[in-house]
């Protein structure tokens, strides 16, 4: 049931990206993701989830990232899309990759298929190498876009399905896994119109990103995987042992010289 839900939610999001608002959101996502990914390096990158199907036609992942090998992982049973990269069919909570073998993971709308996506995050954490980068894209449930979808606005009805998690909750889950949050970027603007919205990068768009970021339709989370390094255990300090420890009296260097002179005079 969870896998079927994953496919259904991903296809609905992919269809929404074909709308004018979704097209603007994808352009905004490509611009902000490109800025965040400038410091992401490595050799292997994964794009997870059926939600990436609507973005493949608008975003060239290989040119956007500085990672040469990019593969798209889609759910088993999902309909094939026009992906520019190699596509792998697999269970999202059992990825067919070795542990700590991936440098960059992009998860557009992957967590929205489950109300408790802890297994998905743990599987991503397994395949991601130390200091690897994780980019999560999600729909903001407190945005005007989500309210418009719940009210039945025709162009946003595709976003009614799915468990949309707020950014702060996803951040808490990542911090429990030991991730460092580099940035949380608002995506798509705050006004959920059905026509073509304000051009990305305009003054109104920048002003809303600074003062009304909590109303934007989507968000992008940039996180780095941190792995704690083991340290040598120090002996336990016990005050009673230091107090009861007996020390041998040691004469000062000057006293030893005086003692030697006295012995010579004798």
Which has the higher per-residue pLDDT, 1 or 181?
181
Average pLDDT for 195-199 = 61
What's residue 50's pLDDT? 65
Looking at the whole model, is its pTM more than 0.85? Answer: no
Which has the higher per-residue pLDDT, 153 or 134?
134
What's residue 64's pLDDT? 83
Give the whole-number percent of the chain exceeding pLDDT 70: 71
The pLDDT of residue 197 is above 70? no
What's residue 155's pLDDT? 87
Which has the higher per-residue pLDDT, 13 or 266?
13
What's residue 122's pLDDT? 95
What's residue 80's pLDDT? 54
Q: CA distances (Å), 260 to each of 229, 248, 252, in order? A: 54, 20, 13
Cα separation, 59 vs 20, whole angstroms: 15
What's residue 61's pLDDT? 83
Query: Exposed (0-12), middle (13-18) or buried (19+): which is 109, by Cβ within 10 Å?
Result: buried
What's residue 1's pLDDT? 42
The pLDDT of residue 66 is above 50? yes
Using H for helix, E for strand and C for coil, what is the string for the chain?
A: CHHHHHHHHHHHHHHHCCCHHHHHHHHHHHHHHHHHHHHCCCCEEEEECHHHHHHHCCCCHHHHCCCCEEEEEECCCCCCCCCCCEEEECCCCCCCCCCCCEEEEEEECCHHHCCCCHHHHHHHHHHEEEEEEEEEEEECCCCHHHHHHHCCCHHHHHHCCCCCCCHHHHHHHHHHCCEEEEEEEEECCCCCCCCCCCCCCCHHHHHHHHHCHHHCCEEEEEEEECCCCCCCCCCCCCHHHHHHCCCCCCCCHHHHHHHHHHHHHC
Of 121-125, 171-175, 255-259, the poorest mean pLDDT is in 255-259
In the structure, what pLDDT confidence band is assigned to residue 198 with cuts at 50, 70 and 90? low
What domains, with CATH codes, occur in the chain?
2-225 (3.40.50.150)
């Amino acid at each position: 049931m969870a896998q079927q839900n994953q496919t259904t939610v991903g296809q609905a999001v992919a269809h929404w990206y074909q709308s004018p608002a979704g097209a603007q959101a994808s352009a905004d996502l490509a611009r902000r993701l490109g800025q965040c990914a400038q410091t992401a390096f490595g050799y292997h990158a994964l794009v997870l989830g059926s939600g990436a199907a609507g973005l493949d036609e608008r975003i060239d992942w290989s040119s956007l990232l500085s990672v040469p090998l990019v593969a798209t992982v889609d759910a088993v049973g999902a309909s094939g899309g026009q992906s520019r990269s190699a596509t792998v069919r697999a269970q999202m909570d059992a990825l067919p990759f070795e542990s700590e073998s991936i440098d960059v993971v992009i998860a557009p709308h992957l967590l929205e298929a489950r109300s408790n996506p802890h297994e998905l995050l743990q599987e991503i954490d397994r395949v991601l190498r130390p200091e690897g980068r994780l980019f999560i894209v999600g729909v903001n449930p407190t945005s005007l876009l989500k309210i418009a979808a719940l009210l039945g606005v025709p162009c946003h009805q595709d976003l009614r399905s799915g468990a949309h998690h707020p950014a702060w909750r996803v951040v808490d889950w990542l911090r429990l896994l030991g991730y460092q949050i580099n940035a949380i970027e608002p995506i798509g603007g705050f006004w959920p119109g059905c026509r073509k919205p304000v051009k990305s990068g305009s003054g109104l768009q920048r002003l809303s990103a600074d003062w009304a970021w909590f109303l934007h339709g989507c968000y992008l989370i940039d996180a780095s995987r941190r792995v704690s390094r083991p340290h040598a255990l120090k002996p336990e300090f016990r005050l009673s042992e230091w107090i009861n420890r007996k020390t041998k009296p040691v004469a000062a260097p000057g006293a030893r010289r005086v003692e030697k002179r006295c012995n010579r005079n004798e």
